[in-house]
Amino acid sequence: MNFFASIREDVRCVFERDPAATSWAMVLMCYPGLHAVWAHRIHHWLWCRNFKLLARWMSQVTRFWTGIEIHPGALIGRRLFIDHGMGVVIGETAIVGDDVTIYQGVTLGGTGKDEGKRHPTLRNGVFVGNNANILGNITIGENSRVGAGSVVVRDVPPDSTVVGVPAHVVYQGGKRVLITDPHDVSDPLSDVIIALADEVKRLKTRLEKLDGEFQTARQEPASAFTVEQEESAQYRTEQTLRVDSVSMGEGI
């Protein structure tokens, strides 16, 4: 596909994904995400032909005008839509598939000074909410969604929705995913949560035991009192049956 055909394709995808787009002129002049993507294609062409300094310098100029930084070495697929775009950063070894949507403030970054592939891979159809951070050499599966403000540090299966810090799967294949094990969250505080859950379980077991002992202790006096009542009733019956017994008030 030539450069101008890709421009037409990119503009059409904006109309498909953004209801605020009302005319070709508006899209061409007022969408910095498109400008950054088009400029990146030139930068990447220069980068691949070893004009790396020129490519980096031009990418910095584009960053100044659009607020979007895409490293010339990044691989960008077709119909990438960066909505609003301010603050978006895409690292050198990042790979972005086709039909991906990225909102403002998103970072596709690394986690240190690792060599080689150190940035994320976004498969086709991925949606990334604003201010999300996807870090390291991880893969976001096809048609997955990353919630706004999430920090993703491990692979995401296809057709999944992840949220949180760190992000965890809440929907997969259109079905709600319920987390029953705190280890699944991989939160730095998960060990504390696990310890608290164990302590609550221990206290609950002890409380149930003490409650059982208390109920048993309450029932013992009641049983003894019942036996005493039965013995008193039997005694009165026996006294009534004796012929030599005298009732109260008789003989007066």
Cβ-Cβ contacts under 8 Å for 128 (sequence gap 6 or more): 100, 101, 102, 103, 106, 122, 134, 140, 145, 146
Taking the domains of the chain in order of start, what are their residue ranges?
Answer: 3-178, 182-243
The DSSP letter of residue 65 is H
- The DSSP result for 108-120, as a single string, is EE-SSS--SS-S-
Q: Is the pLDDT of residue 222 over 80?
A: no
Taking the CB of residue 170, how many other CB atoms lie within 10 A of it?
16
For the segment 30-44, the average pLDDT, to the nearest whole number, is 93
Q: Is the pLDDT of residue 215 over 90?
A: no
Q: Domain spanning 3-178: which CATH class is it, in words? A: mainly beta
Q: Which of 27-31, 117-121, 137-141, 232-236 has the lowest mean pLDDT?
A: 232-236
Residue 14: exposure state from Cβ atoms within 10 A (0-12, 13-18, ≥19): buried
Per-residue pLDDT tens digits for 202-212: 899 888 888 87
- The DSSP result for 167-180, as a single string, is TEEEEETTEE----
